Amino acid sequence: MRSSHCGPAAPGAVFALLVALASPHPGAAQRPSRTRPQVTALVHATLIDGTGAGPQAGRTILVQGKQILSVFPDGARPLPDSATVEDLSGKWVIPGIVDAHVHLTGEAPDAAGYEKLLRWMVEGGVVAVRDMAGDSRVLSSLARSAMLDEFVAPDIRYSAFMAGPTFFAEDSRVASASEGVLVGAAPWMRAVDGTTDVPMAVAEARGTGATALKLYANLPADVFARLTAEAHRQGLLVWAHATVFPVKPSEEVAAGADVLSHAPYLVWEAAPRVPQDYTIRAKGDFEHIRPDDPRILAVLDSMRARGTILDATLFVFEEEEGRSPDGPGKGIAEWSAAVTRIAHERGVLVDAGTDIQGSPRDTVPNIHREMAALVGHAGFTPVEAIGAATRVAAMAMGLEATHGTVSAGKMADLVVLSADPTKDIRNTRAIVEVWKHGQRVERGGM
């Protein structure tokens, strides 16, 4: 089942799948030690390092083990005697791409299907993902395999999902995303209200391996604030919709949410009333409320001051409006792009996330379309869009220390391109090779 606007995704046949995922991957434990040079030198590259700097011609990138050892101008230092040299003349290098908004569970029928999906994502340049709601039993197994390089997969960080009890009574998706557990009682998919033991609920969520809480719907502002404070106390991030009905964007920012998802939901800040029920989420008044309404600008300025990231997800709303231009949320795509442009101009950090990552049936993952939307509709330069899909997306998932830029000490996760993405952002799809954890990923290896 596909998610719709960031709801929980369902795995189906979850227990059989968990057994398959937990089984040793063929050759994983017995894999013989690989002999490889101590250092690989990628030379003569044009580097776009993800920091916001423009293209840097004639760069050498030294890779040692899983990490980037150093980056410097060609010839500025002697190469180690043991280095294997790869000439990237005429090629561009960007950091491995991070999709800051995916839903993995339910997107494959079995363990082999997940391996195929995840490898396809890496071959398409995606080296890390932020999963925004699903079955943590499946996600924890996939995340472990990715971390240990048991098969080719993006690094995975995922959330534990919390919403008001009325949401769990309304949305059929949660039952299959917590198969085998009483609806609303799973530690990774919990119904919460004013009577909830918040420290215990957060601790149990943390025990699933989640690195964040996702606060979704039908929660009062005081419960949202208590959950956010306790999550931070226990070392978890807080990811939320840009309106958690009836909690307004300004209340979420004031409570300390780290990332707000879905740009069009900012419209509710200027609405006369925010409904109690999340089902209204995409039905804002995009015809009469301007994206530069002073109340919305005040939220954006507060986000900038606090470092709150906007997870805009433009692509998914363009897709939705393209399917039903006269349906609920008329004008949602144009409004989303406009408010994202304003947020960017006012200094708000904007990541790149898709909500629907795509599948091996597609040419490349949808994150490339999200970057194109940021450039084509929200005023980003190509370098800024690449930064949104690398550095800022890594920040959104708490991986900025290890991912997101091509710099010494970071993971050696690289995408090599045959065309200049600063001339045309669609050239991020011109992938020659991908490096994940310091290993070149053979393309077409599925």
Q: What is the mean pLDDT of each run of 10 residues along the chain (446 residues)?
A: 55 55 53 63 98 98 96 96 95 98 94 96 98 95 96 98 93 84 94 97 98 97 98 98 97 98 98 92 94 98 98 94 73 96 98 96 97 98 98 98 98 98 98 96 72
Neighbours of 146 (CB within 10 A): 22
pTM recorded for the entire structure: 0.93
* CB-based burial, 181-211: b 16+ in 10 Å, e otherwise: eebbebbbbbbbeeebebeebbebbbebbbb
- Pick from 155, 56, 38: which is nearest to 102 by CA? 155
Sign, Cα dihedral of 222, 224, 227, 232: negative
Q: Which residues, in sequence order, are bridge partners of residue 237? A: 212
> In the chain, what are the domains?
14-26+96-404 (3.20.20.140)
Counting beta carbons within 10 angstroms of the beta carbon of residue 44, is it exposed (0 to 12), middle (13 to 18) or buried (19 or more)? middle
- Name the token pair of 259: 């990332």
pLDDT, position 186? 96
H-helix or E-strand containing 373? helix 367-378
User: What is the C-alpha separation between 24 and 231, in angstroms, rounded?
Assistant: 33
pLDDT, position 22? 60
pLDDT, position 15? 47
